[in-house]
A and B are shown apart, each in its own frame.
Chain A
Amino acid sequence: MAVLKTLTLSIACLLAVLPALSFAAEPPVSLVVKPLLCVLDKGATSCMMTFDVRWKSLVAAEYCLNDGGQATPLRCWPSARSGDLQQQRQVSEEFRYWLTPATGVERLAEVKISVLRVDSADRRRERRARHVWDVL
């Protein structure tokens, strides 16, 4: 009986603190970028991609969006809690978007854009698998 009481109390406590935990888990600044992957095959050296970049923050402030290709920010938003940007660019290697405060270099949030090369200069890696179920 005592065990049951303890268990019930524990579950009740857990349920009580869950909303607070979920609130605490929410990052102060979030950055979402789509798409995240460039797939390169034979003859292709880059992907032309249009990125949809969206960010939001719990605190209104001046934020700047940066990427790996440039030393200066792509765009800064004065006293904002959210923002978005569309950018068309050619991608040939992995890079990142990240958000910083207007003053400072601390990365508040960042997203990596990956490049996947599906062909190979080594012909052996393009060998046809003998097994019909070999899908990799």
Chain B
Amino acid sequence: MRIPVSKALLAVAAAGLLAGLPAARAEDAAGIPAATPSPAPLNLPPERSWRLGIALGYGSRTNPLIQSQDIPVLVDVDIAWFGKRWFFDNGDLGFTAVDNRFFTANLMARVNSDRAFFSKTNTKYVSFAYAAGGLTTTAFSPATGLPITEPVPIKPPKRDYAVEAGIEMLFGGEWGNATLHAFHDVSDTHDGYEVSADYSYRWTTGRFSISPTVSASYKSKKLSDYYWGVHADEASLVLAPYTADGGLGWEAGLRTSYYLTKNIRLAVSANYERLQWDIAQSPLVEREYVLGYFAGLGWQF
């Protein structure tokens, strides 16, 4: 892993300086004794391979699909494992191919996240009647010419999970963290790709930390159309056929933490995602955005 050379040098320099200073004794002092020099250089234990955590609280993520329910978030589990090369991070599997002082390049496998919206859907029935000149009469199916007598169901179509493989480039420094991603379907589900970039910066003052994030992603036509298009066999009187093109979406988020102890923190986060234009225009989409928020207590084990 990346070696923090500057920090190590600073620590060694600090240790050298401190070794020459007399030990401060405040036995007889009243009030605030003079500032005691740092007793030792930064000497934290090595990071553990496992990262386990849980957050309990209340949150929600809106579902942009028609006939769908928002996704409640009451528990968030964080499970990650980092080896020298291989790692697992909350469903993402990675292999570190390159790691130097400029960037880290990982080969990745993941499950597409668009599918998550299609799990919380329900069916609505619509009765059809044609109104003209103040009179209501029976509507006829344009496909068969027969009268529509039964209510027609509206339900988002089913979509499958897609396994995607790709590359991830991580950059980081005093200026913040940035990531570039490129993923392609390898499960023969949508056969499309997604390219994205994100940037975040964390300010920490005392026990409080705040981290804004911005990102943009381009979803290819195949990916967009598979999840958000209305395919010929799915079109009906209430769901017009639609082909979604590729396009650029963006999102912005804010994560804040207040550390109560080394392992427990209060956490509040919010995220706004603007769907790419062609997805937002789909008959399957009711809202052109996804808004998520969560507030709760997090434990890091």
Q: For residue A42, which residues in chain B have a CB less than 8 angstroms away from its CB?
A: 173-174, 202
Interface residues of B (CB under 8 A from A): 1-4, 7, 10-11, 14, 23-29, 31-44, 47, 51, 53-55, 59, 61, 73, 76, 78, 80, 82, 87, 89-90, 92, 94, 96, 99, 103-104, 106, 110, 113, 168, 170-174, 177, 179, 198, 200, 202-204, 206-207, 209, 213, 215, 253, 255, 257, 259, 261-262, 267-269, 271, 273, 290, 292, 294, 296, 298, 300
A residues 83-100 near B (Cβ < 8 Å) are: 85-93, 95
Q: Which of A39, A43, A48, A121 contacts B209 (CB 8 A)?
A: A39
What B residues does A114 contact at CB under 8 A?
261-262
Given A74-B26, A76-B27, answer yes or no on A89-B261 (Cβ-Cβ < 8 Å). no
| A86–B259 alpha-carbon span in the complex (Å) | 23
Instruction: Determine whether the beta carbon of B73 is less than 8 Å from that of A133.
Output: yes
A70 to B253, CA, bound (A): 45
Q: Are B204 and A41 in contact (CB-based, < 8 A)?
A: yes
Binding site for B on A (CB under 8 A): 35-37, 39-46, 48, 50, 68-76, 85-93, 95, 114-136
Chain A residues contacting B200 (CB-CB under 8 Å) are: 128
Residues of B contacting A132 with CB < 8 Å? 61, 253, 269, 271, 273, 290, 292, 294
- Residues B23 and A71 in contact, CB atoms below 8 Å apart: yes
Given A86-B32, A93-B40, A128 and B215 contact (CB-CB distance below 8 Å): yes
Given contacts A90-B37, A135-B76, contact A128 B23 (CB under 8 A): no
Q: Could you list 12 further interchain pairs (A-B, Cβ under 8 angstroms) beyond the known A121-B1, A126-B172, A130-B113?
A: A37-B262, A40-B42, A46-B38, A89-B37, A92-B41, A116-B262, A123-B103, A123-B171, A124-B170, A126-B177, A134-B78, A134-B90
Give the total number of A-B pairs whose CB atoms are below 8 A apart.
193
A93 and B170 in contact (CB under 8 A), knowing A72-B25, A133-B294, A136-B78? no
Contacts of B179 in A (CB 8 A): 127-128
13 contacts between A and B (CB under 8 A): A36-B261, A76-B27, A87-B26, A88-B32, A90-B36, A93-B43, A118-B259, A123-B104, A125-B82, A128-B198, A133-B59, A135-B255, A136-B54
Across the interface, do A135 and B44 meet the contact criterion of CB distance under 8 Å? Answer: no
Contact A41 B27 (CB under 8 A): no
Give chain B residues whose Cβ lies under 8 Å from the Cβ of A41. Answer: 202-204, 209
Tell me the complex Cα distance, A85–B262, Å: 24
Sorted nearest first, the 8 A-B pairs with minimum C-beta distance are A132-B292, A69-B39, A41-B204, A89-B36, A135-B267, A132-B271, A136-B78, A90-B38
Report the minimum CB–CB distance from B149 to chain A (whole Å). 44
- Complex contact A75–B27 (CB within 8 A): yes
Measured CB to CB, the closest approach of chain B to A78, in angstroms, equals 11
Chain A residues near B300 (CB-CB < 8 A):
136
Contact call B14/A45, Cβ cutoff below 8 A: yes
A46 touches B25 (CB 8 A): no
Min C-beta distance of A54 to chain B, whole Å: 14
- Provide the residues of chain A in CB contact with B7, threshold 8 Å: 45
Q: Which of B39, B173, B206, B261 has the most CB of A within 10 A?
A: B39
For the complex, give the distance between the alpha carbons of A9 and B246 in Å.
77
Which chain A residues lie closer than 8 Å to B290 at the CB level? 132
B55 pairs with A135, CB closer than 8 A: yes
- Given A118-B202, A135-B255, do A92 and B89 touch, yes or no (CB 8 Å)? no
CB within 8 Å for A70 and B3 given contacts A37-B262, A39-B209, A118-B204: no
**B37 to chain A: which residues have CB within 8 Å?**
89-90
A100-B215 Cα distance, complex, nearest whole Å = 55
Most chain A beta-carbon neighbours within 10 Å: one of B28, B198, B269: B269
Identify which of A36, A86, A129 contacts B31 (C-beta below 8 A). A86
